[in-house]
Amino acid sequence: MTTRIEGDPLDGAWRSTTGGSPLLTIDLGPLREAEALELASGLIEVSDRVARDCIARAEGNPLFLEQLLRNAEEGADEAVPASIQSLILARMDRLAGADKAALQAASAIGQRFGLDLLRHLIEDPGYHCTGLIAHYLVRPEGADYLFAHALIREGAYSSLLKARRRELHARAAQWFAEADPVLHAEHLDRAEDPAAPQAYLEAAHAQAESYHYERALQLVERGLAIAIEAADQIALTCRKGEMLHDLGSIPESIEAYRSALDLATDDIERCRAWFGLAAGMRIIDKLDDALTALDHAEGLAQSHGLTLELARIHHLRGNLYFPLGRMDDCLAAHEKSLEFARASASAEAEAEALGGMGDAVYALGRMASSNEYFRRCVELCRQHGFGRIEVANFPMVAHTRLFIAGPAPTILDSLAAIAGAARVGHHRAELNAGLSAFIALVELDRGAEASEHLERALALVRHLGARRFEATILGWTARVHLAEGRSQEAVERAKQALEICYETGIGFNGPRVLGILALATGKPDERRRALEEGEKLLSEGSVGHSHLTFYRDAIDAKLDDGDWDGVERYAGLLEDFTRDEPYLWSTFFAARGRALAAWGRGRRDAEALAELRRLREEAERTGFMTAIPALEAALGQAESPAAVTLP
């Protein structure tokens, strides 16, 4: 980059953020007299006196020197101009009328300009830039033209009368109306057109659809800076809240929607502001406050028959019920969302509702159906170009696949989801995808690789303020410690996770964490209490993954205790939970528990041995590598010289 001394960003604070990265700075001082003479002699032929007068006035500034020399070359006989601005104006005055008008019009476009647009502005379809090139004011740059220097463009622009400037920008805005929403808005802004705030709103939407959230936010901010009408201010403030939400700046998003609520002048505007507040409160786990805000939004939407808004409201309510463990309510809300979405004939709302249905049946533990809903959602998004919704839901395609197909075929989807979310700056989706990858790698017994995702996931959790996901991370970190033989650390992490679960909603992660605690602790009473509390929470209502992981860990805890009846009981509960829709997780871990319990009871026949070998092969094929050691231990006993000879 280049910078002038004033406003130089490379100060001590900036350098401290570079982390010691290599940095080379080159300070360019004024040209020495000999260098200035060399430059002058290479440009044009003028008398030595004129050259020295120009060099003296330029004081080592190469641009000023070049322009002074060009001015002399053009035969100006007036005194050497005192500034670059007056010099440029003097050179413009010697242009032909058409060229001067073209140079001024081009300055309204920007540093780079196209000939077709320039002809449109000056209303001369046959104009060419030959004269401007001959005077070294512009130069060809590919298919376009470029001002020889930014200061030349600025000088030409400053020479325009305000009325002419507004007229040129209005014509440029007309040119870009269909082709470029951002330039359309910016030219309307410079034309002081009252339609500019609405144009900025539309440009921000276009940028957000292309995942350029930072740029979208900048456009919204500019729209707000010039908005006068209340309707424009409210619409832009709501869009600002949405952009901040997508960027993960949740407290700022909530504040924006509060401002929109204060600005609102009718029920429809209030409905949208209440909805935005609820969406932000959900992320920071203020679930009761979010439900209250959503009740306000729903009442307003119902009174005005806002079908599309009702689809979104029920979708968000279902998402709020999800971490609270209110599974039937979650499903009912998402079914209503899908109904209203189809009634509104909005493909976008239908895609969101399909994702909501995926969440709802996930909460009920129906992972195969959940995977199907999420796939349908992603397919609809790809068909219509709903990139934001696709990015948000694709991580769940990967995560549900973990339960129905195992971690081995899941990990590539998870990594692809991380890359896609990171590329577009969707922090919530990146967090979900990162957690899916982390969990899959833990199950694959690739703890070192899993830890690589841990730091990023924690950073996203803290950025978003999503504390309940911190409990997820701590719980699975406990499993990593346990696999590494660090039982005490595993217990500590599990207890930390449990504290967060009680703060943020025990139904989302509580039983899952209690299962890990039961497995990690070496204290019989603590194990018993953890298992009893986990079962109680499951009976009161918990998200589907908590059932699946709790029963798996309870089986292993009972295997450690040698409680074969307990193993079979939990295997039966796992199968019962997925009886209407069995899939790999439930069938594999229930069968593994029963096979190891039978072996522990002393059943050593060929059928028992064949079942252990089958389960080991299935674990290797699907990637449940952490399930293999217990199977290997049993097989090792069977294959040792001291083992009983099998018939």
Residues 427 and 446: beta-carbon distance below 8 Å: no
Percent share of the chain, pLDDT over 90: 60
Over the stretch 179-227, which tens digit does the pLDDT of each residue have?
Answer: 999 999 999 999 999 999 999 999 999 998 887 888 999 999 999 999 9
Report pLDDT for 643. Answer: 47
Report pLDDT for 302. Answer: 95
Domain presence at residue 127: yes
What's the gap between Cα 357 and its chain centre? 22
Over the stretch 75-101, which tens digit does the pLDDT of each residue have?
Answer: 655 544 556 677 778 878 888 999 999
pLDDT band for 647, please (50, 70, 90 cuts).
very low
Domain presence at residue 399: no
Report pLDDT for 273. Answer: 95
User: Considering the entire predicted model, what is its pTM?
Assistant: 0.69
Q: What is the mean pLDDT of residues 478-486?
A: 87
Q: What is the mean pLDDT of residues 427-445?
A: 88
Bigger pLDDT: 80 vs 331: 331
pLDDT at residue 252 above 50?
yes
Domain presence at residue 77: yes
Domain presence at residue 25: no
Bigger pLDDT: 164 vs 640: 164
Q: What is the mean pLDDT of residues 348-354?
A: 96
Provide φ and ψ at 14, rounded to 5°.
-65, -45
Q: CATH number, domain at 493?
A: 1.25.40
Residues 54 and 62: beta-carbon distance below 8 Å: no
Same domain, 47 and 93: yes
Same domain, 69 and 108: yes
Element spanning 16, H or E: helix 12-16
The first and second tokens of residue 295, run together, are 């009740």
How does the average pLDDT of the chain come out, rounded?
A: 88
pLDDT at residue 335 above 60?
yes
Element spanning 140, H or E: strand 138-141
Report pLDDT for 449. Answer: 83
Domain presence at residue 544: yes
- State the total domains in the chain: 3
Beta-bridge mates of residue 139: 146
Q: Which of 119, 149, 118 is nearest to 136 (CA)?
A: 149
Same domain, 37 and 138: yes
Bigger pLDDT: 473 vs 642: 473
Please give the DSSP secondary-structure letter assigned to residue 285.
Answer: T
Domain presence at residue 416: no
Cα separations in angstroms, 383 against 311, 353, 358, 396, 456? 20, 16, 19, 19, 31
Residue with tokens 């002419």: 164
Q: What is the mean pLDDT of residues 252-263?
A: 94
Write the DSSP string, 179-214. Answer: T-HHHHHHHHHHTT-TTHHHHHHHHHHHHHHTT-HH
Report the alpha-carbon distance of residue 370 to residue 363 in Å, rounded.
9
Q: What is the mean pLDDT of residues 296-313?
A: 96
> What range defines the domain where residue 594 resides?
583-647
Over the stretch 597-626, which tens digit does the pLDDT of each residue have?
Answer: 999 999 989 999 999 999 999 999 999 999
Domain presence at residue 517: yes
